[in-house]
Structures are given as C-alpha cells and as structure tokens.
Amino acid sequence: MSEPLVIVGNGMAAARLVDELAKVALGRYAIAVIGDEPRLAYNRVLLSSVLAGETASHDIELRPAAWWRDRGVTLKYGCVATEIDVGRRELKIANEESIGFSRLVLATGSTPLRLNVSGADLAGVHTFRDSRDVDLLLTLAAQKKRVVVVGGGLLGLEAAYGLAKAGTPVTLIHLMDRLMERQLDAPAAELLKSLVERKGIRVMLGANTARVLGETRVEGIELTDGRRIDADAVIFAAGIRPNIALAKDAGIPVNRGIVVDDHLQTGAPDIFALGECAEHRGICYGLVEPAYEQGRVLARYLAGGAAAYQGSVVATNLKVSGVSVFSAGDFMVADGCEAIVLSDVRHGTYKKLVVSDGRLTGAVLVGDVGDALWYLELIRDREPIAGIRPDMMFGRSLSIRSEAA
C-alpha cells in the first residue's frame, strides 16, 4: 500500500518535487498537496510578465489539473495548514479534519517584508508575491495611480517595470547606492539604472524610507533626509522572510529558515523542507533553481536512494525591467583575483569575468547574456581556463575555435 506523503505549500518547489517523485517512485506514495493559494501551482517567476501584460495569468500554470490527477495527487488548494502534531504524525488544516502522514514535506516559501515604519499598514500599501498581488497592481496600473516602489532588487525592478509599461508614473527608491547590489557590481548597476530610467522609471538611490504618509490611505513617502514623494500607492519590495511558523510552533529547529541537512531532513523524523522556507548550511536561497535542485535530491532520497544536496552555485539569469542581467559566483574582485572587463555603455553592454587561480570564479553580464550558461558551467566545473582565456570574453564559439587552433 502507498505511504501517505503530505506536502504543505503548492508552489514551485512542491510542483517540482511531485514531478521528480513521479519519475523515481511512482506509486510508492499517496501524495496530498495542501496549498493556501486559491489556484493550481503556477510559475511565480512569470508574475512579472503577467504584470507587464506580456503573459496571461492562466498561461503560467505549471501543470494542468489532469497532470496532478494522473499522478494520483490529492490537491487541496485554498487550504491553510495550521499545525503539525509531530508525535501523532498529523497535519491540521483550517476548517477541516486533520490529515495523517508517514512523511511530511514543508514547501511553504516566503512572505514579503513590510518595512517597520509608520504608515506601513495604510490602505494603498501593497507587496508583490502572488497572483492576488498582481491583480491589485494591475488595477492600480489601469487607474494610472502614482506609485512608489520601495526596493531596488529584482522584485522592485520588476514591479516598477510592469507598472511603468502600463503607463503608471513610477518612482523606485532604493536604500543602497546601487541597484541589485547583491547581484551586480557598481558599473553593471549604473548601466542597469540608465537602461531602467530609459523605460520612464524615476530611480532614487540612497533613499531611506522614514514613513508612509497619509491618514487612512497612502498619500506619499517621506525619506529620512526629509524629502517627500507624492504617491497614491506604495509597493514594498524590500526583502522576503521564509515561512517558518508552522515548523517553529511544532518544535522543529529553525533559524532564519527551517534547518535541513543534506537530505533536506529537518530536525524531526520524516519531516523535510525545501525551497525558500528551508535553510541548508546556513543559506536560505531566494531563487527557483536551488529549489529545483533540492526537489531532485529529495525525490531520490524519498525513493530510497542515497542522494545528498551539497548546496547550489547561485546564479541570477533574468530579464530585469526588460534588460537581460546575469551574475554568478564571486563577482566582486577579491584580493588575488583578476577582472577581465568589456564595457560598451552606448550599446547597453557590460561584461565582467573574474578569474582566480587560473579558473573562472565569477561573472556579471548586462545586455548581452548569450553566453551566460557557458560561463556558469565554467564556474561550476572549475576547469582551468588558460587555453581559452584570450577569447573567453567574446563567447563560447570563438573561445573553442581559438583553443582548437
């Protein structure tokens, strides 16, 4: 008889785990997925395209209902899991009976942070995480409201781009002195800023939010230096917090995320976690690729294999506000490293490759990202690059030809 395996969260990590389990352990588990969003799992990354009017909301579903049915998965969506009884191996679901499990997987993702400033709860303050948020933002866009987006990372830029594309006046404010400071060095960030400004987005750097202005609804933002920006709506895109409450309340060890070992096992027997809610070797990843790698490993482990997750080399390969951006590895030039740089601001291209000990250890690309995956392979494989170094900057085809010559 199939063992009951329950997954909490019907997001990208959960969908990948089911996909991988169906390949390696079909029939071994009777799988139930409990998700609080009121729809089938969808590609969250594509919410930006939905906001920008480039993709329809129903087109971003990861799998149709029949796919889940064919794999014997019981899907409960619009349902919140409220409590884990570790000893009795039961999961409580709001307004429903408990469900028993032999194995439980937590794939609860993250929640967007709201800055801890006065006015953060006013009507007209929003976040950008799920399709309900996108529906609200599309309403703002249709009404041509003046919007301030707080946060110059990926999400803030995507929100600003989508709204600006719909004709909304948008100001993007960012605390740091450059955009996407965790993925880009200063020249790449400067180029990105100028490309984003060309899309009609006003960008303010070094801008620290003091409070959201308004009595009952948003009227603007005040910065700590006293400057004020009038606005009808504010979108906080200033970070995420892993959803750990369910685990924590059950006594499962947590830090910033739910702590897991190399088998994605939490501190409780037969309870696992993956995706953005999990913390592996001190890292909570906020990207989809590590969640997918974890899904592959966990499926194999649950199938009885000896698979182990060793962590991910994080790469960012995105279209930010319509501009292609890639970064991977150690892209800042630490002591003992060398940088090879090609910069053509007029054509919107910047490339930096970081070399250490004769190997490629990091890369940042803006504009032309055609060879991004090749650079990522070189970083991951740690192959010596002496033979291709002179032409490496110009891409794979040229480098391989010159190595062969």
Contacts with ligand FAD by CB under 6 A lie at 8-14, 34-37, 44-45, 47-48, 80-81, 107-109, 128-129, 154-155, 158, 243, 246, 275-276, 286-289, 291, 318
**How many other CB atoms are found less than 10 A from the CB of residue 198?**
12
- Residue type (1 letter), 82: T
As measured in angstroms, the least distance from the Cβ of 48 to ligand FAD is: 5
As measured in angstroms, the least distance from the Cβ of 336 to ligand FAD is: 30
Nearer to ligand FAD, 134 or 173 (CB): 134
As measured in angstroms, the least distance from the Cβ of 244 to ligand FAD is: 10
- Residue type (1 letter), 55: T
Phi, psi of 99 (to 5 degrees): -125, 135
**Total count of residues recorded for the chain:** 405
As measured in angstroms, the least distance from the Cβ of 146 to ligand FAD is: 21
Nearer to ligand FAD, 128 or 350 (CB): 128
Instruction: Specify the residue for token string 């965790």.
Output: 182
Query: Which tokens hold the place of 202?
Result: 């006003």
User: H or E stretch including 88?
Assistant: none
Nearer to ligand FAD, 127 or 399 (CB): 127
Closest residue to ligand FAD using C-beta atoms: 11
Would you say 64 and 19 are in contact if contact means Cβ atoms under 8 Å apart? no
What Rg value do the Cα atoms of the chain yield, rounded? 23
As measured in angstroms, the least distance from the Cβ of 19 to ligand FAD is: 12
User: H or E stretch including 297?
Assistant: helix 288-302
Nearer to ligand FAD, 287 or 393 (CB): 287
Nearer to ligand FAD, 158 or 279 (CB): 158
Would you say 252 and 244 are in contact if contact means Cβ atoms under 8 Å apart? no
As measured in angstroms, the least distance from the Cβ of 51 to ligand FAD is: 8
Give the strand pairing for 323-329 and 315-320.
antiparallel
Nearer to ligand FAD, 233 or 388 (CB): 233
Nearer to ligand FAD, 81 or 360 (CB): 81
As measured in angstroms, the least distance from the Cβ of 10 to ligand FAD is: 5
Nearer to ligand FAD, 18 or 229 (CB): 18
Give the closest residue to 339 by CA, choosing from 360, 322, 324, 321: 360
As measured in angstroms, the least distance from the Cβ of 389 to ligand FAD is: 30
Query: Which tokens hold the place of 214?
Result: 């308004």
Nearer to ligand FAD, 120 or 287 (CB): 287
Separation between Cα atoms, residue 14 and residue 252, nearest integer Å: 20
CA distances (Å), 349 to each of 189, 243, 390, 397, in order?
12, 38, 19, 19
Separation between Cα atoms, residue 86 and residue 108, nearest integer Å: 17
As measured in angstroms, the least distance from the Cβ of 202 to ligand FAD is: 21
Angle between helices 154-165 and 131-142 (to 10 degrees): 40
Instruction: Specify the residue for token string 């002179």.
Output: 390
Return the bridge partners of 173, or none.
Answer: 150, 204
